[in-house]
């Protein structure tokens, strides 16, 4: 029996226990949400690319964070929308690819958020050496590493699952992740376990660095009267970081310790909330909180509409009204 199962090339995603009416409603709501995620992230990316004044390290990292969000959501939403209208099955290759994209995107997010924390640390705590530290060459290297290392780590994790013997074909989720494939393995591969623990330690080090940098930032800003600058440039990053970390932690905790008696709808939401909330929240928090980005977006709108009211709006955003 195991021989037949292990040679299967199709998995069943068993989280789709929806009625026809629920599927149609979910399809329309999910499509609308995906379009809003795409619009918010693309608008921020275009605004940063178009404005030379935004070609600074913080905005370059922000642009890459938006690209990572688009990359990660591309691995989930199109397949989920298709599954709502058809059979909820996925090929072995498709399952591996989906798991790789979603995992690597989350790791890219974490790496870029760590870079943004480092950038704010240097800008506020060591402002005199900021431009000598955050040079174009070094920023380019940081960006390349923030993509290469997560993609490589997740590639090694996924590669360690190739060819393993499976004792099941039902994945208790609405999308594929590597851990679900490991749970189906007749005997979990030791290489995958070792790589998984290495990745956990590697990204826990990211987390500890972010915590340390913000502890130092808060202490420095309180003692040197830079609290206004901290609230202006660090608060959006801190909010996005907390939202992302909370979403990922909830998913990991449920994956490890979730109980079978929890409802399927709760399980589904827990599994996808890190693909729902952070990609939507990030561009809007940064777009409305950071003055340069906000002004650029309004300028683009004004250029297209050439509306006097819009010019007045931009004027009031750029400067305080005179007495």
Assigned superfamily of 2-289: Rhodopsin 7-helix transmembrane proteins (1.20.1070.10)
Domain ranges of the chain: 2-289
Q: Where are the beta strands (DSSP E) in 242-303?
A: none
| pTM of the predicted protein model | 0.83
Q: Sheet of 89-91: strands edge to edge?
A: 89-91, 10-13, 170-171
Given a cut of 50, whether residue 320 has pLDDT beyond it is no
- Residue 135 vs residues 60, 130, 139, 140: alpha-carbon distances, Å: 12, 8, 6, 8
Q: Is 76 helix (H, G, I), strand (E, B) or coil?
A: coil
pLDDT number for residue 297: 61
Instruction: Tell me which residue of 317, 238, 211, 286 sits closest to 60, measured CA to CA.
Output: 286
Distance of CA 264 to the CA centre of its chain: 24
Segment 91-145, tens digit of pLDDT: 888 888 999 999 999 999 999 999 999 998 898 888 889 999 999 999 999 999 9
* Rounded Cα–Cα distance for residues 47 and 9 (Å): 44
* Rounded Cα–Cα distance for residues 321 and 116 (Å): 33
CB atoms within 10 A of CB 117: 22
* Rounded Cα–Cα distance for residues 33 and 125 (Å): 39
Count CA atoms closer than 13 A to 37's CA, side-chain side. Answer: 25
């Amino acid at each position: 029996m195991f021989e037949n199962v292990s040679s299967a090339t199709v998995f069943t995603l068993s989280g789709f226990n929806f009625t026809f009416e629920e599927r149609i409603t979910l399809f329309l709501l999910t499509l609308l949400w995906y379009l809003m995620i795409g619009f918010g992230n693309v608008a921020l990316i275009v605004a940063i690319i178009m404005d030379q004044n935004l070609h600074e390290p913080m905005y370059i990292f922000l642009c890459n964070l938006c690209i990572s969000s688009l990359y990660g959501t591309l691995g989930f939403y199109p397949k989920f929308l298709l599954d709502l209208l058809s059979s909820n099955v996925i090929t072995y290759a498709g399952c591996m690819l989906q798991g790789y994209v979603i995992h690597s995107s989350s790791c890219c997010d974490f790496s870029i958020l760590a870079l943004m924390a480092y950038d704010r640390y240097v800008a506020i705590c060591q402002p005199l050496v900021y431009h000598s530290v955050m040079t174009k060459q070094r920023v380019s290297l940081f960006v390349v590493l923030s993509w290469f290392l997560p993609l490589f780590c997740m590639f090694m994790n996924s590669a360690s699952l190739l060819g393993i013997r499976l004792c099941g074909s039902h994945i208790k989720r609405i999308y594929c992740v590597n851990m679900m494939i490991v749970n189906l393995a007749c005997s979990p591969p030791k290489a995958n376990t070792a790589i998984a623990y290495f990745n956990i330690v590697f990204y826990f080090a990211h987390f500890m660095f972010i915590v340390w940098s913000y502890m130092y930032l808060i202490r420095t800003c309180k003692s040197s009267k830079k609290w206004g600058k901290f609230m202006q440039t660090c608060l959006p990053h801190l909010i996005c970081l907390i939202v992302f970390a909370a979403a990922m932690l909830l998913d990991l905790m449920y994956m490890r310790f979730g109980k079978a008696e929890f409802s399927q709808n709760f399980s589904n939401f827990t599994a996808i909330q890190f693909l729902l909330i952070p990609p939507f929240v990030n561009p809007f928090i940064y777009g409305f909180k950071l003055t340069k980005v906000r002004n650029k977006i309004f300028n683009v709108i004004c250029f297209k509409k050439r509306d006097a009211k819009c010019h007045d709006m931009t004027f009031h955003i750029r400067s305080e009204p005179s007495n």
